[in-house]
Amino acid sequence: MSFFDCQCKLRYPSGFQVDCAFGTDAEVTALVGLSGSGKTSVLSMIAGLRNPESGRIQVGKRVLFDSTAGVHIPPEQRRIGYVFQDQLLFPHLSVERNLQFGWRRRPPDARPIDYNRVIQVLELGEVLPRLPHTLSGGQKQRVALGRALLCGPELLLLDEPVASLEQPLKERILDYMDKIVKEWRVPTLFVTHTIEEVKRFAQWAVMLEAGRVRLAGSVTEVIR
């Protein structure tokens, strides 16, 4: 069994169906495919934001969802850090309070994450008193990364975190993501449709097409 295993099936009212199964032991796994292929739906089911009709989701030794056994762990108990494409920071809270929201709500036995070290690595010290609407896109994404990391996750989900950024800024955020993975060794599932980002950031790739896994393997194999 892989460190992370996902078998999930979900049908939308429109008729579109996600029916995929994959596992990974890689530090960073890229979930790739064209828009509408089901990538975000898979992340939502892993995080517990959508309920699969059937299947099983497991991270390490913890079963998060099992339709046969009747297991359905609530999202707040899944120990998953989720960074959305549009950040979804709390607009009425300062950067510092956004970061502390995750840090103070982590489980007592969660992996230890040094709050000050996260601020240092993501270079957030100067923006701690500011509200999200005063930040640039890159600063918002760094805050979102920090908040997700500070909850002490066993798995980090990144949903196209640099898609809305200009190219030079994309490179900077990818650098920060590299630093996070290398220092804290959090297994990461990274959604993208850009081959360059896959080559830059991932070791394993899963290609979705029309809600199904078309191909899974090393980045070199999938790209070829």
Among the listed residues 150, 187, 168, the one whose alpha carbon sits nearest the alpha carbon of residue 46 = 187
**Under 8 Å between Cβ of 2 and 22:** no
Confidence band for 88, pLDDT divided at 50, 70 and 90: confident
Domains of the chain: which residue ranges? 26-43+77-223
Which CATH number applies to 26-43+77-223?
Answer: 3.40.50.300
- What would the mean pLDDT of 3-19 be, rounded to a whole number? 92
Dihedral sign for Cα atoms in the order 60, 61, 65, 69:
positive
Exposed/middle/buried for 84, CB within 10 Å: 0-12, 13-18, 19+? middle
Model confidence pLDDT, tens digit, residues 126-150: 999 999 999 988 899 899 999 999 9
Confidence band for 87, pLDDT divided at 50, 70 and 90: low
User: What percent of the chain has pLDDT above 70?
Assistant: 99
Rounded to two decimals, the pTM is: 0.92
Exposed/middle/buried for 3, CB within 10 Å: 0-12, 13-18, 19+? middle
pLDDT at position 39 over 60 = yes
